[in-house]
Chains A and B, each alone.
Chain A
Amino acid sequence: MNLNLQWTWFHRLGSPRWFYQKTQRWLPWLCLIMLSLLVVGLVWGLAFAPPDAKQGNSFRIIYLHVPASVVALAGYYLMAISGAVGLIWRIKLSYMLMRSAAPIGAALTFIALVTGAIWGKPTWGAYWVWDARITSMLILLFLYLGVMALRHAYSSNEAADKASAILGLVGMVNVPIIYKSVDWWQTLHQPATIKFTGAPSMHPDMFMPLVVMIVGFYTFYAVTLILFTRIEILRREYRASWVKQLVENNSAEK
């Protein structure tokens, strides 16, 4: 019996309609959390955290750079795993999540690269340095772009979903290998700024706002992912009766 219950829950979760209606209720709360975290983190980080001993105020860009990179990387895993869930359990919703995750992840990777370049100018004296982590981010951007571009090779949604999922999985196996390889190739630069396993190498006054910003970026990611997925749901399910009803209700309100 218990198992049965779990499965109905599982399949309801897989229903685009259920997702669309639930997230309608979650979105305002998520937006509120996101805004407060981002505002608190930004003000704290940019105005109140002490300047860095060596880099002065220019280090403050890490409050954008680090969260963007962290979430961009985690986003790749989320994308690949939702693709795998789609392949294994044939859940359409998780394909929709995967498709929505790609452009968001690519955008975050791009932000990480640009902020990294801006940070690089005062720190290393050049906009672009072939630092291990920057190089890895560049490769990550290409991986994201690959997943986005592959979709257009297929005329049917089903095939495009499966193909992107496979590419995502192949990429997921490769991401750690790429990171380790690039790391090995280039160990000239600073060791990773935050080590979650040990004590932070940053001063707590600088570190705490960073944590707030990272959590803030995760909620930002969740909000955009939900919004993108909702659009994807409407785009794919436009023939379904509940979507038609929704559209009629909306136009009636106006």
Chain B
Amino acid sequence: MYNYLSGGFLAYLNRDLLLGIRNKSDLIKPLIFFLLVSALVPLAIAPEADRLAQLAPGIIWIFAVLATLLSVERLFSDDLQDGSLEQMLISPNLLILPILGKITAHWLMIGLPLALLSPVIGVWLSLPSVAFVPMMLSLAIGTAVLSLIGAVGAALTLPRQGGVLLALLVMPLYMPVLIFGSATIQSAVDGLTWTAPLAILAAFLAIAIALCPLAINVSLRLAKNG
């Protein structure tokens, strides 16, 4: 196992994955949530395939956003409580890499499983099968952006531990991802080029990788001051 002094990307990635695997229930909760709320949709609206298929791209993305939001709250708060955040912050190395490591672990444990699970919901909501691959790709890329932006919110709200405040901070910033994510699926359903909105999602990811860790770096230090 790696240690905190090496301060690297892989050290924190490995540790957070290990912690996630040891604590499986936390890992599975967002996925269960994703499946459960999706199962409510046909009950609340109508079990008609056409109407469900029409709503599917948006619904899948809204639930993906909520599932990420639920889980991102604890990204730094556990570390703050047990004191390992302090130890991370006083490492002599750059903080950017540990931060990215933690976020990557979060994405591997939440975003990627959501993307892999999404065909189930696609089938439930009668999404045309042509849209399955675009859906999984858009979710895989989009949830990575959501994890990065969500981490900024989680870092900023550390002294008061997320909740509604986190949602208020992060949701407006999630809008572009939501728009282009569901547009990717919708374009595929309509037989348009779905790679264009997907490419824009990827561009968001590039911007977020470059900027979010910087904002998180400064925010995490404030938590102690709060």
Contact = CB atoms under 8 A, between A and B. Distances in A.
Task: Indicate whether A and B interact.
Answer: yes
Interface of A: 87, 139, 142-143, 145-146, 149-150, 152-156, 158-160, 162-163, 166-167, 169-171, 173-174, 177-178, 181-182, 184-185
Of A87, A170, A178, most buried by chain B (CB within 10 Å of CB) is A170
Interface of B: 149, 152, 156-157, 159-160, 165, 168-169, 171-173, 175-176, 179-180, 183, 204, 207, 211, 215, 218-219, 222, 225-226
A155 B168 contact: no
Contacts of B169: 146, 149-150, 167
Contact of A174 (B160, B168, B176, B219): B176
A181 B180 contact: yes
B73 to A, nearest CB: 13
11 contacts: A87-B218, A139-B175, A142-B168, A153-B159, A154-B225, A154-B226, A159-B159, A163-B219, A166-B219, A174-B176, A184-B179
B146 to A, nearest CB: 13
A interface, by DSSP: helix, strand, loop or mixed?
Answer: helix
B175 A182 contact: yes
B188 to A, nearest CB: 17
Given A149-B168, A150-B156, A153-B165, A170 B225 contact: no
A149 B218 contact: no
A153 B157 contact: yes
Given A159-B225, A167-B169, A181-B176, 13 more contacts: A139-B172, A146-B172, A150-B165, A152-B160, A153-B157, A153-B165, A154-B226, A155-B159, A159-B159, A159-B222, A163-B219, A163-B226, A185-B183
A50 B207 CA distance: 47
Given A150-B157, A181-B180, A185-B183, A162 B218 contact: yes
Given A150-B156, A166-B218, A170-B215, A155 B172 contact: no
Contacts of B219: 163, 166
